[in-house]
Amino acid sequence: MDRQSLYFVRPGETELRTTTFEPADDEVIVETQISAVNAGTELLIHRGEAPIDLQADETIDALDGDLSFPLRYGYAAVGEVIATGNAVTEDWRGQRVFAFNPHESRFAAQPATLVPVPDNVSSETAAMLSSAETATSLVLDGRPRLGERVIVFGAGVIGLCTIGVLSDFPLERLVAVDPITDRREHALRMGADEAITPDEATDNVCEGAADGADLVYELSGRPEALDDAISSTGYDSRVVVGSWYGTKQPTLDLGTNFHRDRVTIESSQVSTLSPESRGRWTKTRRLNTALDRLQALPIESLITHQIPFADAPSAYRLLDESQSPLQVLLTYP
């Protein structure tokens, strides 16, 4: 069966290619309606800033090989099941589903890897499930506590979803840091108590404002922001790094205050569960929690552009050249 697939072919260039796939008896065929561009990772790939010898994602069956060009990528597709294999019940036919699948017009998948989309959730909202899951994972890893001061560096889609989840916690203060005015305004609508620029965050530190944060998230994708995140902490605080910098190298000032204040820096990556959570949490439980959060947050307000799949290369040029987009969706005829 033929389909159109989006390929990253070299730095700064994507193209649509006709590919062929053969569904197995235990798979269904999904006709794609919407797919979400996850700007952080996908822009690193688009720009050639991802390590090419790294596996695409061993936890997602639809992604194979490494990150060397040319490659298919993406992991947030919503579509309708149009056919079922001989070993799959007909009940799946006609269902709307979410899949961790690259950008392409149709694909085959085992039902166990699909998430049925509730009737009251639009396809546009459902396409952002992976972002809600990442935000859920970040909050689980950060373990916010009653009355804590929390700062989120980076108000892109992941940062805003994380702010939305954190806003339900009884925190003392939830602060968003981002250089873009529109994103700071979105952060306030998602539940932040305050939204400031990186310069304002640095000024607060220099002036000794408050006692530093208890929990800081670095979600900007900017290596230089990690130093600012560490500088904004207080005694015995935690910095959770959800950004992936690819081949970009951060330069850190791990001076006296970092050591004397016993600051902890932790990584967070949605493909695995943290060791502290594995006794009680599974990926299924986390995904179900994310689906619940997805329905509770004003997630569609983050969608700024919908671009036809046939014009997909323009979506990456837009993201690469402009600061205005938040969530870009690809739409399929």
Are the C-beta atoms of residues 8 and 313 closer than 8 Å to each other? no
Same domain for 42 and 97, yes or no, is: yes
Residue 19 is assigned to a structural domain of this protein = yes
Give the per-residue pLDDT at 324.
Answer: 80
Same domain for 176 and 96, yes or no, is: no
pLDDT digits (tens, 9 = 90+) for 16-72: 999 999 999 999 999 999 999 999 999 999 999 998 777 776 666 666 778 899 999
Same domain for 289 and 196, yes or no, is: no
Can you give the residue range of the structural domain that contains 108? 2-130+283-331
Same domain for 317 and 230, yes or no, is: no
Give the per-residue pLDDT at 298.
Answer: 95
Residue 135 is assigned to a structural domain of this protein = no
- Residue 231 region, left (φ>0) first, then alpha (ψ -120 to 50), else beta? alpha
Same domain for 301 and 258, yes or no, is: no
Give the per-residue pLDDT at 59.
Answer: 63
Residue 278 is assigned to a structural domain of this protein = no
**Residue-by-residue DSSP string for 265-326:** EEE--TTS--TTTTTT--HHHHHHHHHHHHHHS-GGGGEEEEEEGGGHHHHHHHHHH-S--S
| Nearest of 64, 49, 36, 216 to residue 133 by alpha carbon | 36
Whole-number Cα distances in Å, 119 to 97, 116, 314: 11, 9, 31
Read off the CATH number of the domain in which 24 is found: 3.90.180.10
Task: Write out the two tokens for 138.
Answer: 């970040």
Ordered mean pLDDT values, 10 residues apiece, the chain (333 residues)? 96 96 96 96 93 72 80 96 97 97 97 96 97 97 96 97 97 96 97 94 57 93 91 92 89 83 92 91 96 95 97 95 91 95
Give the per-residue pLDDT at 57.
Answer: 64
Give the per-residue pLDDT at 326.
Answer: 95
What CA–CA distance (Å, rounded) separates 7 from 73? 7
Residue 98 is assigned to a structural domain of this protein = yes
Read off the CATH number of the domain in which 162 is found: 3.40.50.720
Same domain for 117 and 163, yes or no, is: no
The one-letter amino acid at 236: D
Domain boundary among 240, 267, 294: 267
Q: How many domains does the chain have?
A: 2
Domain boundary among 243, 267, 291: 267
Give the per-residue pLDDT at 92.
Answer: 97
Residue 138 is assigned to a structural domain of this protein = no
Same domain for 218 and 190, yes or no, is: yes
Same domain for 63 and 172, yes or no, is: no
pTM above 0.85, yes or no: yes
Give the per-residue pLDDT at 241.
Answer: 96
Q: Are strands 173-177 and 149-153 parallel, antiparallel or unpaired?
A: parallel
What CA–CA distance (Å, rounded) separates 154 from 259? 25
